[in-house]
Chains A and B, each alone.
Chain A
Amino acid sequence: MATMVSSAGALLAMLSENHTTLKLHALSNLNAFAQFFWPEISTSIPLIESLYEDEEFPQRELAALVVSKVFYFLGELNDALAYALGAGSHFDVTEDSDYVRTLLDKAIDEYANLRKKAAESNEEAARIDPRLEAIVERMLEKCILDGKYQQAMGIAIECRRLDKLEEAVMRSDNAPGSLSYCINISHSYVNRREYRREFGPDHSYPVHGSPPGTANNFVRPEMRAKGDPGQSGLRSSLLMPVSQISASAFFMISGYGEGGRCRGCAMVEVLRLLVRVYEKLPSPDYLSICQCLMFLEEPEGVASILEKLLRSGKKDDALLAFQIGFDLVENEHQAFLLNVRDRLPKPKSPPAELPPSRDSEATETGNATASEDVQMADGPHASHGNFAEMEPAEARYAERLTKLKGILSGETSIQLTLQFLYSHNRSDLLILKNIKQSVEMRNSVCHSATIYANAIMHAGTTVDTFLRENLDWLSRATNWAKFSATAGLGVIHKGHLQQGRSLMAPYLPQGGSGSGGSPYSEGGALYALGLIHANHGEGIKQFLRDSLRSTNVEVIQHGACLGLGLAALGTADEEIFEDIKNVLYTDSAVAGEAAGISMGLLMVGTASEKASEMLAYAHETQHEKIIRGLALGIALTVYGREEEADTLIEQMTRDQDPILRYGGMYALALAYRGTSNNKAIRQLLHFAVSDVSDDVRRTAVLALGFVLYSEPEQTPRIVSLLSESYNPHVRYGAALAVGISCAGTGLSEAISLLEPLTSDVVDFVRQGALIAMAMVMIQTTEAMDSRVGAFRRQLEKIIHDKHEDTMSKMGAILASGILDAGGRNVTIRLLSKSKHDKVTAVVGLAVFSQFWYWYPLIYFISLSFSPTAFIGLNYDLKVPKFEFLSNAKPSLFEYPKPTSAPTTTSAVKLPTAVLSTSAKAKARAKKEAEQKDKSAGAEPSASASGPVKGKESSTEKSGDAMKVDNPPPSEKKVEQEPNFETLTNPARVVPAQEKFIKFLEGSRYMPVKLAPSGFVLLRDLRPEEPEVLSLTDGPASAGGSTGPAQQGSAAGNAMAVEEEPQPPQPFEYTS
């Protein structure tokens, strides 16, 4: 029988006894029962306090503990902590109680605060209570002993105890895992480095104010997910508070980098430490080290690691180096990659060769770009010739270096992507055909929308069948439509670096005379070249510059400016800038607009002085188009600069001119891209509801999408109210914001938010919603979300509906293009796998969202496409045959079924007379058939259509009894859908599928890195067997009719040129 005391009166009475033993007895019992009797004890606090203050009393600390507990229950956390510190060793950090957890949290906060203050004011940490420090250290020790290394690391980072962090990592049983966890935290905290200031110290730890039981509500779910991945298994005395701690770590950490001056300086410290720890490990994880170094912007470190790996005798190390290369390329950090590449030491060649190679090195670093094409084609060739003279090790190094440089320049991945997209192209021409047939010929908007849709649908696949088959129809495109039709070729051939120029040759301006071609197709061709070479335009820049200089037709200038901007994205090339500026100063509206954007593209993320120059001109000129172009350009220059951009943003958002304010919105969006920065969000929301100009309001809402794309779950919530605004511009912005930030996620809330907007009363809102919906649903199958199918049907209906507005029709056409973009093999991805933002993709979407004013900018969306593929590569950077598993039903992720040819519905269906008897018989037969189906236990598979099966079984039924006796079990089994699917390298792996990917044990190849998608190097476990390569089915494998560029690279370059698809024959417009 459990007897409980009902009152602490007895114990309290005992406290006033004279005998010390009795007092002790009372105290220890009070301590044990404090959580029940704290209200009673609270009246006696002075008595217990006097015991604590009594120097004679042997157990003062126990008294302190009791007082601390009572204060804790009274909600006086500061007093509680003060007394808990007095309790010394009696305060047991291992105890599993709310009291200990809360106080530990408080203690750590306090300590971290003090440490932070000490670090900021550069004083020595003398003011920190040693008892506090002791508690935190005890806590850390306990975490480490319990194997909760992640918690320990979180606390250590938060408290800026790098020594402890190192200790935690070194003592953890899984050091590499811990390190990657650390990296995750540190990455998140760079993103959130503003957080703390935003919330203010009072709000970052809302736990303090709340009553003890409800401690943990504040931690946002996704943060918690980040904070303790894989901890769900821990029963955990500390799970709750520590997830909270790690979350607060994000806040805390953000307090480090005050101001833009020291951009996450503490993060740099942490990363440096991580790199150091990594290097200490017996088998360093170079992949992660290099990621760290990239964030640290230390190309030397990466280069030296790569060199070490390349020089190693083992093949695996070289594979690893290649893998690092691919991973770095994925982040699209062009400047850094070039830097790494240039720092890789040349192979030691005989002294006679030395001077010229030095020379080329010098020119290359000086010019960084212009000679690139030559170098790529030339350098390997030269070194190849010398292989014989070199030692074997050097020769091997040289060979590997060539490959690595190919990877780092991004060309290898572009090449492979191109091949993948070409070979796996599953675009549905029938959709286009239907669109083409249903849009009115004379409606030029829909006509060019169809051309856009075609280009997007085939982006990067090099398949231009549709255009070829419809040359007559195509020729209706005149003027700017012709411009965009030609530019569309650039999207289709995106990444076709070697042959881009020869492909576009027929449309390019012919030297000097300017005879023949219309300026529109010439301008479009230049734009197309830019799209083909986007962000990798070293080979084409010179040509574009020449074209720009040699013309004064504004349409051609327009195309050339856009092309140059794309090709030289983010290079900050002064000469090109000057050229474009000259165009700008001609004050021609069309060319000036492109020049403005182009300048921005050129200077992406540099925050250079040029911005003020551009701003000055924007004030000067009369042309709205130019102002708009410049506004966007200025916004692009501050890409990712966060606080540094604040002055400029302030300047722009306060401008009289709504177009500049509109640019200010873009500046906010791009400067704080993907940071979820509260200040930026607040500002944007403010403009979204208060600006006088609809354009500004629309853009402000749209910009939210960019700020929030790293947390797509948040966006629908934040814009949900705006999506119900009375102002159609705001609604449009809300739709696109969701489209941008949730692009490619197939997020259910996003779809729910967009659904009503697709049938809005205002035509352009419908347009925006349709496009946004397509962006969200890209690569989402109907099996995953049934609304995808409904959406496809809705698009079809809109396109076919005669009474639908042109605007929403255009939206529907574009949406069908985006939905099936890149031959149904690409998705829109703004973050790389290592959570780095992809500059090109973000910039692409930002300019794309400008299509409101200028349709040809639609093509910029192709920059944000990234292939959803697993591409395994062997040592030769070829694609070997390799199989792996996808542990999910194939139908879940398969390509959408091709649309069937429209049946002639023109025949009017006559109502057939149905006799009641036959109807009954039919019904009976049907019922029986159904029952039979059920008993056979076969589910209708996705591929087999229902009616066919019904018929089958009914015939079976009507057949004789002997047939019934042996039902076809084998057939049924086939119909049963398997629960897995074997994929063959290179395979399409959609984002949602990634978690189902499994690599088979005992297969010939072993991935170097267990990544479910992207480029993965494969280790060959049976090198003696001959390799079977896939991806050799390019049509060009037989033909040798290739341009000079190809021959040049074929010599020594391991670029698998022979696998490249043949350039299609040029076709001419009949204008």
Chain B
Amino acid sequence: MQFDSFSAFLAMGGYGFYVWLAVAFSLLSLGSLTVATIVKRRQIIDEIKNKHQRIERMRAAEKMENTL
């Protein structure tokens, strides 16, 4: 272990601001890319399901007798 205490670890020998800024940016950008990819997958699947249901409803409506 290179650091005597947790606060020494945070200070990074005086370079804390720069080091943690780099860490924060990397985590944030990689994290949001991952989340965006997962959310996108959900959206695609929902859209496929919705489209399928719409077609099913249209088919059912065609079979129905005209009651008007």
Q: Do A and B bind each other?
A: no
Binding site for B on A (CB under 8 A): none
Binding site for A on B (CB under 8 A): none
